[in-house]
Amino acid sequence: MSPDINRLGYSVAVRIPSLILVCLMMWPAAGCSRRTIRIESEPPGALVWLNHREIGRTPVEVDFTHYGTYDLMLRKDGWEPMIGPMPTGLSLHGTPGIDLMLEVLPIRTHDLIVWRIPLVPRDEDHEALLQRANALRDEAGAFPEGASTP
């Protein structure tokens, strides 16, 4: 029996290249770049929409694909709604070329972006609202007719 044949009859010379080929084929699948946005509010429990899609209540995490600006809306009873654009900011993970290398190399990365949103209590004082409206009406009436407002 030849020294390069094992007990089952398979040649070691055939198994090693096959093992190398399998490892090379699985190598790109080993890399993974994960991008996550965590949205927190004070107080917690606000309903969150990201790009007009409801994603849950704060604190909540959602995976994203592209860096840029997202439309964010938070609503909670008794609190003023928060609506506006939120940027993910610049990241090395989003740089063209580097993002491809992070996907191909057999390393795992996780880019976590945290947005902390303080909510403002809703002003339910109707008397104060009427006083502000009357003050604005009086201020608007103080201009002579035909005069341009500042």
CATH number of the domain where residue 97 is located: 2.60.40
Check residue 84 and give its pLDDT. Answer: 93
Q: Same domain for 70 and 51?
A: yes
Check residue 122 and give its pLDDT. Answer: 87
Check residue 66 and give its pLDDT. Answer: 83
Q: Same domain for 40 and 80?
A: yes
Number of domains comprising the chain: 2
Q: Same domain for 24 and 36?
A: no
The stretch 89-115 carries a mean pLDDT of: 71
The stretch 40-44 carries a mean pLDDT of: 94
Q: Same domain for 2 and 67?
A: no
Q: Same domain for 90 and 68?
A: yes
Name the residue range of residue 22's domain: 1-30
Instruction: Decide if 58 contacts 41 (C-beta within 8 A).
Output: yes
- Domain-embedded: residue 65: yes
Residue-wise pLDDT for 46-73, tens only, equals: 999 999 999 999 999 999 888 889 999 9
Q: Same domain for 52 and 90?
A: yes
Q: Same domain for 21 and 92?
A: no
Q: Give the amino acid at 138.
A: D
Q: How many helices (H) and strands (E) does the chain have?
A: 3, 7
- Domain-embedded: residue 141: no
The stretch 72-77 carries a mean pLDDT of: 95
CA distances 19 to 6, 22, 52, Å, are: 16, 5, 48
